[in-house]
Amino acid sequence: MTGALDRVASFLVEPAASAIGGGLPTACRAAVLGRPRDVSPLAAAVALTLRAADRCPAALVAVWGAALPAGGPAVRVAKRLAAAADDGATARGRLAWLALPPEPARAVDALVEAAAAVDAPLVTALAGARPPALEALVSGHDLVVVAAPPGTPLAQTVIARLTERGVPAVACAPLARGAVRALAVAGLAPPRLDLDHREPG
């Protein structure tokens, strides 16, 4: 476990090794927790929201435990971001997508390597029940987004537990099927997300 913690510590404090497109600002790293069917679309929405806030041309979404969307039309900078993150990463719209290995230690290594290779907003989607080896990874993000409607018992319980660990957390409702979800997954347009809202402790 010490090795995993060391890797997560490096993930937090070491600067990115290279920039995509040049001159990008220091980017936020967020995690999205939820059911497999919810995390990828919401992670896409969070990534697009952070991309716009940081004025970055593209963002990276790394997914563990859930399916990635198929590749599709993408802007050139998203393709370059995908290539920098990993040979197997794909791109859609303004998002690069990376599938993390199912084995927790390998997933941590893959995410740390991708984070070190890019300077852009990075969102880690963690689906379903997580093994203990991934708990340190959750704490290694600037923000955790819980895929649950704000104010619900589930959202309040998960956020309370994260807050006890000193992890900034917010709840966002999963994206319903339809145009809004499709546009987010395509890497084109995010819905309105309140990433500053905090559940009462």
Q: What is the pLDDT of residues 155-166, one digit of tens each?
A: 999 999 999 988
pTM here? 0.84
Confidence at residue 190, expressed as pLDDT on a 0 to 100 scale: 85
Between helix 76-85 and helix 104-117 the angle, nearest 10°, is 130
| Alpha carbons 192 and 63: distance in angstroms, whole number | 22
Tell me: the pLDDT tens digits for 80-101?
Answer: 999 999 989 999 999 999 999 9
What local confidence, expressed as pLDDT, does residue 11 receive? Answer: 43
pLDDT at residue 134 in the model = 86
Residues in the chain predicted with pLDDT less than 70, given as ranges, are: 1-27, 196-201
Q: Which domains are assigned to the chain?
A: 2-13+28-185 (3.40.50)
pLDDT score recorded for residue 196? 67
Residue with tokens 């619900």: 152
